[in-house]
Amino acid sequence: MALELAMEYGAFRTLRSSPHILVVSSGKGGSGKTTLAMHLAVGLLKAGQKVGTLDLDGDQGGLTHYVENRRIWANWRSIELGHPLHRKIPPSNGMDRTEAEQLDAFEQAAAALEQCDLVVVDTPPCDGYLVRLAHMLADTVVTPLQDSFLDLCALGPTDPVTHGIIGTGSHAAMVELARRARGRVDPGFFDWVVLANRTVGESVIKNSLAEAGLRIGFRIVSGCSEHVAYRQLFPLGLTVFDSSDEAGLESHFGRDGIDPQREWRVLMDALRLPINERGLRRAAAQTEWVRRKDLSLPTDELLDER
């Protein structure tokens, strides 16, 4: 235990030096973590931030595939798309790693991202040493949640009659342990956001989720609407932040009256991430360059002898 704490404290001192660390996690699979992580990364890129991404799910590697798809699509279409600086934890290949080996892999991956403004970390849907370490280092944790009592159980099981929260779920317990460990070496603010995905009708878990937030200690933010186009964007490495012209693709959105870019911008604002003024100026300059790069030179003005 003493060695583990010493290693974790060393990692904390190394990795807390610069970037704002945003961890995307959930207690179960199929919650949309990887889609969320990639959209947050690209949204931050569009805001002019230097963004890193870290894939802790070495075996599944969903975020890694998403980033690679984006590079392949951009090269094939000869277009310019912003890319996060990406690192991944190598797959285990069925072998159990010691905590020291896992920590070494984590530190090597994270060291390459220390000059970023923000780092988005995608986690596997299970507990483990690396998942706990990432949460201990996090400034912001975002947990996507489907409108289901089954998904809610990862945060807090409910009474079958009253639907009241009757305990602390496994994922919530893990986050709370990581939050306490973080507090022992850094009393800084740890923001935990549960992203409640939007449904067509009234949410069935709305009241129970609100009770869980008060009891466990997270704030609730409305997520984005379900849309089949999200499944079509992954193999291309694209997000809703990529305009149809920029992505070299006909838009999949807007046909049903939903404005996904607006939804995502509202979501990004609600996360209260530290998007700095320098980044905003960088984004404005990049947007102006993209707008003007295909315009012809103003030869009349250049050749005017007046």
CA dihedral 229, 231, 237, 241 (to 10 degrees): 40
Q: Work out the mean pLDDT of the chain and round it to a whole number.
A: 82
CATH of the domain at 278: 3.40.50.300
Q: pLDDT by residue (tens digit) across 158-191? A: 999 999 999 999 999 999 998 888 877 777 778 9
Work out the widest C-alpha separation in the chain, in whole angstroms. Answer: 85
In a domain, 96, yes or no: yes
In a domain, 300, yes or no: no
pLDDT exceeds cutoff 90 at 237: yes
More confident site: 292 or 119? 119
CB-based contact 232:239 (threshold 8 Å): no
CB-based contact 146:66 (threshold 8 Å): no
Closest CA to 133 of 107, 94, 96, 164: 107
> Residue 261 sits in which domain range?
1-294
Q: 207 is written with which tokens?
A: 């009241």
Q: pLDDT by residue (tens digit) across 110-144? A: 889 989 999 999 999 888 899 999 998 899 999 99
Could you tell me the pTM of the whole model?
Answer: 0.83
Res 306: pLDDT: 43
Q: pLDDT by residue (tens digit) across 183-233? A: 777 777 789 999 998 665 678 899 999 999 999 999 999 888 777 778 888
In a domain, 304, yes or no: no
How many domains would you assign to the chain?
1
